[in-house]
Chains A and B, each alone.
Chain A
Amino acid sequence: MATSSRLLCGLVLAAALAVAGCGGTSRDAGHAAADPFAWLQPAHPPAGWKVARLPSGAASLAYPPGWQPIHTDPGTFSAALLGAHGRIHGYLNATPRSGAETLANWARFRPAHNHEEGDRSVVTEASATHLRFRAGAGSCVIDRYATVSARYREIACIVRGSHATTVVVAAAQPQDWGRLEPALRRSVATFST
C-alpha cells in the first residue's frame, strides 16, 4: 500500500514536471492595458499643415506649421521641429519599405532594427497589427531608445496601401513628448500611402 502511494506520488510529480516544462516554452501574452492606439483614426491633415510627398509619389506625410524638412536619405522625407543648435525636438519621417520588415514582424523588427543601428536601451511599450490608415492597413509599435546624444520615444508604423508599403516614424524626446504627442499622432493618423 505504501509502495502504491509512493508510485502515485511519483506519477503526479512527473505529470506536474511535464506540465511545467510545457509552460516554460509559452510566450508572453502581452500587457492587458487600454488600447494604446485608440487615437489612430484615419483623418485628413488639419488646415495649415503642409503635406510632403515622397519622390516616388507613393506616400504623403503631413507636418505641422513651424516644422521644416531636414536632410534625409534619398527617396525619403523627413521633417523636424528644431531647437537651438539644430536640436531635434520632434521628428517625422516617411520611408519606402526597404528591408525585411513586414506588417507581421513589425513589433519585433523595428526595436531590433533600432538596436542594430546602435540605439541603446530599446524598450517596446506597445504594438498592434491590423490598424486602419487612410488608404490601407498597418502595424505600429511605440518604443523608446537612447542614441549617443539623446533619448527618444517614437511611434513607428508600417503601412500597406494599394500601391506601396511605407514606414512612417514620429518621434520626440521624452521631455517634449507631452507637448508634441498630439501633432505626432495627427501626422501618423493622416499618413497615406
Chain B
Amino acid sequence: MTFKLPKLIPAALALCCALAIPVAGIAQAKSTKSHHHHHKAKHHSTIPQNNGGDRDADNNGGPSDGDGNI
C-alpha cells in the first residue's frame, strides 16, 4: 500500500492538468460572452420601428435598409 502511493502522484497530476484545460476554456468562454453582452448593452440605442428615427421604411415596420448605423 505504501509502495503504490508514489506511483499514483504522477497520474493524479496528469488528471488534474487534463481537467484544468477544459475548465479554463469554459471560464474564458463565459468571460467573453459576458463582455460581449456588456458591450452590446452599452451601445444599444435602437430606433423604434414605429414612425421613429429617420422615418424611412425600416423604421416603420418595413424591411431593413442597408444602413450600417442604427
Contact A3 B7 (CB under 8 A): yes
Those of B6-60 within 8 Å (CB) of chain A: 7-8, 11, 14-15, 18-19, 21-23, 25-26, 29, 40, 44, 46-50, 54-60
The residue from B11, B49, B55 contacting A117, defined by CB atoms under 8 A apart: B49
Size band of the interface chain B makes with A: 35 or more
For residue A169, which residue of chain B has the nearest CB?
Answer: B66
Residue among A21, A94, A98 with the highest chain B CB neighbour number at 10 A: A21
Contacts of A95 in B (CB 8 A): 65-68
Report chain B residues within 8 Å CB of A88.
57, 62-63
Contact A147 B25, CB 8 Å, known A76-B66, A88-B57: no
**B residues less than 8 Å from A101 (CB atoms):** 68
Whether the Cβ atoms of B22 and A18 lie closer than 8 Å is yes
Complex-state Cα separation, A49 to B53, whole angstroms: 31
B4: nearest chain-A partner, CB-CB = A3
A91 and B21 contact, CB distance less than 8 A:
no
Q: Which residues of B contact A71 (CB under 8 A)?
A: 55-57
A78 at the interface (CB under 8 A from B): yes
Determine the chain B residues whose CB is within 8 A of the CB of A55 once the complex forms: none
Specify which chain A residues have a CB less than 8 angstroms from the CB of B44 in the assembled complex.
Answer: 116
A73-B54, A88-B57, A118-B48 known; A17 vs B67 contact (CB < 8 Å): no
A95–B64 CA distance with the chains assembled, in angstroms: 11
Out of A17, A145, A150, name the residue touching B19 (CB < 8 Å).
Answer: A17
- A-side contacts of B25, CB under 8 Å: 21-22, 24-25
| Complex Cα spacing A3 to B9, Å | 13
Asked whether A14 lies within 8 Å of B18 as measured between CB atoms, the reply is: yes
Residues of chain B touching chain A, judged by Cβ–Cβ distance below 8 Å, are: 4, 7-8, 11, 14-15, 18-19, 21-23, 25-26, 29, 40, 44, 46-50, 54-70
